[in-house]
Amino acid sequence: MENLTGQYIDRYEILELLGKGGMAMVYKAYDSRLEREVAIKIIRRDAFPPENLHDVLKRFEREAKSLARLSHPNIVKVMDYGEYGDSPFLVLEYLSGGTLKQKIGAPVSWKEAVRLLLPIARGIEYAHNHGVVHRDIKPANILITENGEPMLSDFGIVKVFHGEEISTLTGSGVAIGTPEYMAPEQWTGETGPGSDIYSLGVIFYEMVTGRRPYIADTPGGVFFKQVTEPLPFPREFVPDLPESVERFLLIALAQKPEDRYQSMSEMASVFENLQNDGGRQSAIGIQPKEEKEKQERVAVEKAVQEKEKHNAAEKFKHEKAERQDARRDEIKVFLPKVIPFLRIIGVIGIIIVLFWMGSWVIPQFIPLISTAKDTATHAESSKTFTPVPTGQTKIPTLTSMPTGVGLVTPLSATSTLSLGATQISPVDGMILHYVPAGTFTMGDTAEHASAECQRTNIFTWINCDQGNFKDQEPIHQVYLDAFWMDETEVTNAQYKLCVKASGCQRPSTLGPYYSDDRHGDYPVVFVTWVDANSYCQWSERRLPTEAEWEKAARGTDGRTYPWGEEIGTEYANYNTSPGDVTRVGSYELGKSPYHLYDMAGNVGEWVADLYDPEYYMTLEENVINPQGPSLGYGYVIRGGAFLYNDIQSANRDADDRANRVTNGTGFRCAMNATP
């Protein structure tokens, strides 16, 4: 296509050629009607084979319509649209500050990179929320204003992915984008919000290290390295780069889209965290890296003949189990048919399908440079104890309350105990917080619990009917003696001490964390109730009762969540954000009134009590130190987990198998406080 400098397109005088891209030419022009400078992008018809031209023109026309719907301070505005001969053109606002590409010839400080890219991330977040994926984010498409503010341009190859407009104008398997900044899935024509997350991650990587993560002589060579080589650690090139910044890049540049940040909103929020705390943040969740189905099915014994008074409880349990089993079976049958759909809905759909199939996504983690907490690495050599008996009886559906869940003495005498008092276990280094004696409100109404379920529910298929929450009724007052509670969930490093001392058995499924010392400060998972009980006895503590757990989580003011009434992923790890377990103590804003971490989300927690959905109905109005029912359907699990939305402090869950293990269940311990 000829250079149009000096000519007129409608009322626009072409002043100079600014750039020539793969599908368009961009000019600086003068709008004679409004007397202002503008940028005009006109399609290059000669850049495409004739058989593809029709699709290309459609794609360009969609760009105009997509951009016209966008109004954000960090997105270049569309001012007009028209045709010049047979070629359509866009009129955009003109920015004279050049492009980011011209400014990153050498590494810049990570703080400056965050300053420039955070507004771009917010602009992309806005576009995604309006159904628009950019698909070609690169430094040349980030323009700089005279005041140094960044703006995102060139939505020429956007893909509209909302509603009925889901389509691929390029045909199956045709890659669109700039190879050096393309996500691996774009090479096969698959794209989505995760592709933009990856591209922005490449830019951030390039800005702070002075080089792109994968360098090759050909585009195909770039792709080959993306899928066969681990990401070069940024700190290899910038040794003083904060560890949290490196971890951010490891997530953003994960090979699979489901392993990256789950949304541009999440990515932008982490940008803000880095900016606000100067890179000191160390608790950024890592997503799973490789899927592997876990096909272990533990046989469930049929219920023994029920007493008449337990008929209603059995019906409750049976219906709940049937719903879960039906969900798993449906997914197994239809999974082959919905793979294309899962590609569209991305990580949330994939994780949820695998979760409800009873599978476990076993990651192949990109190595992290992290330091595990070392408070749990001492003292077992100086301690003597009697190992827990190895005989473990599988619990039938109807079980009598075990004996021997003893109350132990404090680790050290405390002359004056009050709210805020702490002590450290000499056995495993755990910090314990003091919970004073007194009365608190326990339970919730089914109506309120259902409303909270709906408020936090991001999945339309989750059943939030009130009937699912009847086990929280009625609300009642409970008096508890003072006790101590672990500050965090028991970690892998701490649990290994018990295994080494022969006080605990190794988790039946080691998973990616337990076998990797770099994840020592992650909560131990794949542990049974028996494992949890054994650990607490070994550490001279015990599992908390259900009542103790709820008081420690919500305090005495009847709040819904440990932190109050608000809800959001800044408070807890839930609703698949970030989609996997995180380090214990990662959510400072989510602490309970007694300064306990992760009482909502991350992993569910075994407690001492057996589960009976009608147990609360059998209690007096004012109950003292309840120990749970003498008969029940397995053991209670509290707190929800990273895949759940039901993380209210009063929410009750259970598993009717004491030897049941999942990647979403761990525990913490408690201890009596003697006068």
Looking at 18-27, 201-210, 482-491, which range is the least confident one? Answer: 18-27
Query: pTM for the whole thing?
Result: 0.44
- 653 labelled catalytic: no
- 237, two tokens: 């090139």
Which residue of the set 10, 31, 86, 136 is catalytic? 136
Q: Please tell me the distance from the alpha carbon of residue 282 to that of residue 155, in angstroms, as a whole number.
A: 35
Band (pLDDT 50/70/90 cuts) for residue 657 is low
Architecture of the domain spanning 100-277: Orthogonal Bundle (1.10)
Assign 399 to helix, strand or coil: strand
Q: Minimal CA–CA distance to 149: which of 77, 206, 202, 96?
A: 96
Backbone angles phi, psi at 325, to 5 degrees: -65, -40
Q: Provide the residue type at 91 as one letter.
A: V
The pLDDT of residue 133: 87
- Which residue, chain included where needed, has tokens 């469930």? 300
Least confident of 173-187, 296-310, 424-438: 296-310
Q: What top-level class would CATH report for the domain 308-377+411-672?
A: alpha beta
pLDDT of residue 576: 62
Q: How confident is the model at residue 81 (pLDDT cuts 50, 70, 90)?
A: confident
Residue 210 has pLDDT above 70, yes or no: yes
How remote is the C-alpha of 9 from its chain's centroid?
Answer: 49
pLDDT of residue 212: 92
Q: How far apart are CA 615 and CA 313, in angstroms?
A: 9
Strongest mean pLDDT among 147-156, 456-465, 483-492: 483-492
Pairing assessment for the beta strands 476-480 and 622-624 based on DSSP bridges: parallel
Mean residue pLDDT of the chain comes to 76
Q: Is the peptide bond before 193 cis (omega within 30 degrees of 0)?
A: no
Does residue 25 register a pLDDT over 60?
yes
- The amino acid occupying position 18 is L
pLDDT at 116 over 90: yes
8-93 CATH fold: Phosphorylase Kinase; domain 1 (3.30.200)
CA distance 635 to 523: 19
Q: CB–CB of 252/200 below 8 Å?
A: yes
Domain boundaries, the chain: 8-93, 100-277, 308-377+411-672
Question: Residue 387 — pLDDT band, cuts 50, 70, 90?
Answer: very low
Please name which of 88, 97, 104 lies closest in space to residue 40, comparing C-alpha atoms: 88
Burial class (CB in 10 A: 0-12, 13-18, 19+), 71: exposed
84 three-class SS: strand
Question: Per-residue pLDDT for 184 more than 60?
Answer: yes
Judged by average pLDDT, the poorest of 3-17, 143-157, 359-373, 578-592 is 359-373
Q: SS in 3 state form for 623-661?
A: EECCCCCCEECCEEEECCCCCCCCCCCCCEEEECCCCCC
What is d(CA 156, CA 174) in angstroms, rounded to the nearest whole number?
Answer: 16
Strand 150-152 versus strand 142-144 pairing type = antiparallel
Go through 221-233 and write b for each residue having 16 or more CB atoms within 10 A of its CB, e for each that does not. Answer: ebbebbeeeebbb
Per-residue confidence band for 54, with pLDDT thresholds at 50, 70 and 90: confident
- Dihedral of alpha carbons 545, 550, 553, 554, sign: negative
Residues 665, 525 contacting (CB under 8 angstroms) = yes
What b/e sequence results for 86-95 when a residue is b if at least 16 CB atoms lie within 10 Å of its CB, and e otherwise? ebbbbbbbbb
Helix (H) or strand (E) holding 111: helix 110-129
Residue 177: pLDDT band by 50, 70, 90 thresholds?
A: low
Helices (H), 229-288: 243-252, 264-277
Query: Strands 431-435, 670-672: parallel, antiparallel or unpaired by DSSP?
Result: unpaired
The yes-or-no verdict on residue 162 having pLDDT over 50 is no
143: β partners: 99, 151
Q: Of how many residues is the chain composed?
A: 675
What is the pLDDT averaged over residues 205-214? 94
In 3D space, the residue among 278, 556, 268, 537 whose CA is nearest the CA of residue 402 turns out to be 537
